[in-house]
Structure 1
C-alpha cells in the first residue's frame, strides 16, 4: 500500500515520483551508513559477528531460526560476555556476566545511567521520555523518580496502600472460586489471567484511589493498557528508519491508540482531581467511593526541576500508565511461574501452607505484614526470581558521555547497552546446582541473594545501580502476598490436560510460560 501523498499524484508523473523517492531513500541509507562509520571511527568496539552493509546483523537475527535469547547465548559462547550487534542504524552492546554488569551498573553507574534514543512510536506514549524509566539521566529524571518513590513506593507509602491490596485479594479469591465453579469439572482455572487481573486492580486502586470502579470499566482500561504495551514493542523502522514513510499506517494507528488511552484514563484523573480539591477544602471523601490517598495525588502539583509548569493532562496519563503497566505483567508473570513450581512439587506447597497456618492459622486472611515473617516464603520468592526473572533483559542503558569503556572496549554514546540476565543467575561459578529450583538454598546457613546487586551481582531481576527499578520492594511484596493468599485459600494441583508441567518459556512483554498454566483448585476450609 503506497502512502496517500503518492496515491493522489497524476498517473503520468508516478514513475518520476517513484524514481525520485527511491533515490531519496538510497541517499538516506548512504548517509546513515556514513554517519555511523564516522561516529565510530577510531573506536575499539566489542567483538561480534560481521554484518552486511546498511542492515548490519539485523537479517542474521531475524532469520536465525531461533528466539533472540538463544541467539545471544550462541554469540556468548563464540565471542564471550560482551558482544556487539549492528542492528541497522542501532548499535547494541550486550553484556552477560556478573563482573561486567557490576562494572557497568555499580562501578561506572553514573557513566551508563541514561537511556538510549526512543523511536517515534514509543515517544508518543512516553510524552517525549517524560517517565521514570525512559527519562534521560539528569534533573528531570531525578525529580520524577524521587516523587515516584516518596509518592508510591517507599516503605511508609506501601503500608498506607495495604487496604488496596486486601481489597484486590478478596476480589481475586472470589473470582477464582467463581471461575472454578463455572468450569465443567468444577475446579479448573487459568492462572495468569486471574493473577494479572488482581495485580491490575491493586495498581489501579493505588494509582487513582477510586473504589467504586465496576468490573466492566476495569476490563476496558486494562484492554487499552495491554494494547499500548504491544504498540511500543520494537519495530523494523526502529532499526531502519528510512522505512518509516512506508509504515505510515502503523504510525497513524499508534496516534489513534494514544488518543484512546487518554480518553479512557483522563476521566479517572479528573474524578480523582475533584476528590483532592474537596479534601483540600475540608471535605473528606466517602470511604466507599475513594481512598484517602493515591499516587496521582502526588503528581497533580508536581514540580519537576527545570520546568515551570506542573504536568499536563497527557503527561499525567503517561505517568499513571507507567506505574500500572510497570507493575502488572511483571508481577503476574512471576506468580504464574510460582504456581507452576507449587503444583510441580507438592512438598513446596505443603511447606508454604504449613508456614501460613503456623503464622496466622485459618481465622483471618494472610497479609503482607505476615509474609515478612515467613522465612520459607521469602526464600521461595528469591528462588523464583533467580530461576524465572520476569524479563531476560534489563531496560537498555546508554553512555552519558563519549569515552565510556567496558572490559577495555569503547561503548559509543549512541549504542544500546543491554544486560542479559539469565547467564548470571545460571552461572555455576556463582551458584550451586544453578539449574535446580530449590528455595532451601536461601535459608539459614545457605546462599545469599542481594537482588539489588549493591553487595555484588549474583541475581538482579530488577536491574541494579542508579536505574534499578524503584518498584523492587513493591514487586517482591506483591509476589509474596499473592502466593501466600493463593495457597491459604486453595489447594493447587496440575490439570489432567497438562501432564507433565511444561517449564518452557517464550518472550512476550515479559517471559511467560509457553503453555499457559491451567490449574485445578480445591477451596480450603477457612473460618473467615
Structure 2
C-alpha cells in the first residue's frame, strides 16, 4: 500500500465575479455534488448498521479518518504502528468511501490467509486510474477471485514460474549477471575515486534485464533500448500511485490533469511494449520453419504462453492491450521488489564485514574463482540461504501485502465482521519482528536460520512467522523466482567484488521510506574492489 499523493487546489474564482447564469450553474453542480456525497455517506452508514466492525479511531463525517492520516505528520506505516498500540492487532480505518481493515499479527494473518483463505481470496473493487493499467483488473494480482483469476494464475505458474520453467530460463540469468557485473565495474572505474557504485540502480537494471528476457525472449536488445523501456515502466508505477480522489471520488474532476497524464502514460506503455510483442510473434512464425538464431531469440518466453491463452469464461484470446498489461505486470512486479532487496542486502554486507567474509568463504568452497557462481550453486549454500531469509524477515519489499477482500458477505476475523467492500490489509513488520515469535527480533542475524536454530516457512503454509510474499491462495506466485534472483545476485556481487562502506555514508543509515517498495531513505553508495580473477 503506497502513501497517497495529496492534492492542494487553488481557491476558486468568486461566484460574484461570474455571469449570473454561470453562477447558478456552478451553485447547482455544487449542490448536487454535496447531495451525492451526503447520500453516499448515509448509504454507507446504513449498510454497515448491525455489523460489528473492528475498533478504530473515530472519524469525521464523509471523510472518516482520511484527514487524520493525511495530516498526522507521519508516514502511514508509522501511523499504523501508533494506532496498533491503542486498538490492537485488528482495526478499522474509514478513508473516505473506502473502509480499511488492518491486521498486524501472525495469528490473524494465519486466520485470514490460510484458515479462511477462500473467504478472503478476492480483491476490492476499484474505480481508479489503476484500472487503466490493469485492463480492468485483467491481471493475476488484481483480478477478483474466480475463474478468470484461476486461468491467469495457472498460466503464469506453468508458463513462467514453475521450478522446471525457471531452470529453462537459466541462460537469461547468466546473460544478465554478466552484464550486471560489467556495468558495475565500468561505473566504479569511471567514478572520481575509481571505486564508487550506486547499488539500487545497478541492481534494478540487472533484474529488469532478466525479466525482459524471460517475458519476450528477445536477446539482441541493446542497453539504450532496455533503458528506454525501463523508463516507461517507471512512469507507469508513478502514474498508478494512490491519490486523494481514490478516497473521495467527488474530487475527481479536480484531477483531470493527472487522469489525462495517466492516459498518456498508458499510450506510451502500449506504444513501447506492443512492438516487442509483435517482434516475438514474427519470431514464432519463423520458428515454424527453422530454429531461431541463438543470438537473437530464446526458444521460449512468457509471452508465448499468452498469445493463444484461453481464459475460462471468455471466448477470445487476450487483446493486444491485455497482452501489454500481462507482460508489464510480470516485469514491474518482479523488478523493484528484487532490486530493493538487493540494496538492503548489500547495506547489511557493507555494515558487517564478517557476513561478507562468510559468504565469500562459502562461495569459494562451493565454486571457487574459476567460473561465475550460478543459481544451481546457490541452492547448496546454507549460509547464503540463511542470509536471504533474514534479509526478507528484516527488510520485506513492502510493508503491506497486496490488499485482500472478502468474497461474500458474512465473513469474520477475530469475531469481527469484514464487509466484502472493505480493504483487508496485512501489515507485515509487526509479524516478522514479534518478540513472541522471534529471539532478538530487531537484530540482523542470518545464523538464526542455520541448523539447530529458528525455522521460517516464508510461504506461511506451515505457520505464519514471516510472509514477505503473502500467504495462502493469493500468495505472490513469484516467490521462488524472487528468492532465486536475490540469492544469485548477492552471490555474484560478493564473488566479483569486495565491498566497503563509502566515506560519504558513515555510519550506514538503515532508515527507510516508501516508494513503490520500501527503499533505503538514503540510497546506498558503496565502494568496490574487483576480486581476482575477473569475469
**What is the Cα deviation at residue 11 of structure 1?**
4.3
How far apart, CA to CA, are the structure 2 residues paired with 1:474 and 1:247? Answer: 38
Q: Quick one: which of 270, 274, 280 aligns to 1:262? A: 270
Q: Quick one: which of 339, 351, 354 aligns to 1:344? A: 351
Q: Partner of 2:292 in structure 1?
A: 285
Q: Partner of 1:6 in structure 2?
A: none
Q: 1:307-343: CA deviations, max 9, x gaps?
A: 0000000000000000000000000000000000000
**What is the Cα deviation at residue 216 of structure 1?**
1.3
How far apart, CA to CA, are the structure 1 residues paired with 2:481 and 2:534? Answer: 29
Q: Say yes or no: does 1:240 pair with 2:235.
A: no
Are the counterparts in 1 of residues 188 and 194 from structure 2 also a CA contact under 8 Å? yes
Query: Counterparts of 1:69-468 in structure 2 under 5 Å?
Result: 69-279=77-287, 281-468=288-475
Q: Partner of 2:527 in structure 1?
A: 520
How far apart, CA to CA, are the structure 2 residues paired with 1:322 and 1:68? Answer: 25
Query: Counterparts of 1:472-511 in structure 2 under 5 Å?
Result: 472-511=479-518
Are the counterparts in 2 of residues 333 and 511 from structure 1 also a CA contact under 8 Å? yes
How far apart, CA to CA, are the structure 2 residues paired with 1:31 and 1:414? Answer: 17
Are the counterparts in 1 of residues 137 and 143 from structure 2 also a CA contact under 8 Å? yes
Q: Secondary structure at the match of 2:129?
A: helix
**What is the Cα deviation at residue 98 of structure 1?**
0.3
* Greater Cα offset, 309-318 or 224-233: 224-233
TM-score (norm 2): 0.96
Are the counterparts in 1 of residues 496 and 534 from structure 2 also a CA contact under 8 Å? no
How far apart, CA to CA, are the structure 2 residues paired with 1:13 and 1:498? Answer: 63
Are the counterparts in 1 of residues 270 and 321 from structure 2 also a CA contact under 8 Å? yes
Q: Secondary structure at the match of 1:184?
A: coil
Q: 1:363-407: CA deviations, max 9, x gaps?
A: 000000000000000000000000000000000000000000000
Q: Secondary structure at the match of 2:111?
A: helix
Are the counterparts in 2 of residues 364 and 527 from structure 1 also a CA contact under 8 Å? no
Are the counterparts in 2 of residues 379 and 440 from structure 1 also a CA contact under 8 Å? yes
**What is the Cα deviation at residue 119 of structure 1?**
3.1
**What is the Cα deviation at residue 217 of structure 1?**
1.2
Are the counterparts in 2 of residues 363 and 527 from structure 1 also a CA contact under 8 Å? no
Are the counterparts in 1 of residues 233 and 332 from structure 2 also a CA contact under 8 Å? yes
Query: Number of paired residues?
Result: 522
Are the counterparts in 2 of residues 212 and 290 from structure 1 also a CA contact under 8 Å? yes
Q: 1:67-125: CA deviations, max 9, x gaps?
A: 11111001100000001000000000000000000000000000000000123310000
Q: Where in structure 1 do 4 or more consecutive aligned residues deviate above 4 Å?
A: none
Q: Secondary structure at the match of 1:284?
A: coil
How far apart, CA to CA, are the structure 2 residues paired with 1:238 and 1:145? Answer: 27
Q: Quick one: which of 10, 16, 23 aligns to 2:31? A: 23
Q: Say yes or no: does 1:56 pair with 2:64.
A: yes
**What is the Cα deviation at residue 27 of structure 1?**
1.1
Q: Partner of 1:470 in structure 2?
A: 477
Q: Secondary structure at the match of 1:120?
A: coil
Q: 1:145-172: CA deviations, max 9, x gaps?
A: 0000001000000000000000000000
5+ residue gaps, structure 1: 3-9
Are the counterparts in 2 of residues 387 and 437 from structure 1 also a CA contact under 8 Å? yes
How far apart, CA to CA, are the structure 1 residues paired with 2:203 and 2:256? Answer: 37
5+ residue gaps, structure 2: 1-8, 11-17
Q: Secondary structure at the match of 2:346?
A: helix
Query: Counterparts of 1:36-55 in structure 2 under 5 Å?
Result: 36-55=44-63
**What is the Cα deviation at residue 12 of structure 1?**
4.6
Are the counterparts in 1 of residues 500 and 526 from structure 2 also a CA contact under 8 Å? yes
How far apart, CA to CA, are the structure 2 residues paired with 1:138 and 1:83? Answer: 28
How far apart, CA to CA, are the structure 2 residues paired with 1:413 and 1:160? Answer: 41
**What is the Cα deviation at residue 527 of structure 1?**
6.2
Q: 1:209-236: CA deviations, max 9, x gaps?
A: 0001111111111011011111111110
Q: Secondary structure at the match of 1:83?
A: strand
TM-score (norm 1): 0.98
Cα RMSD of the aligned pairs, angstroms, is: 1.3
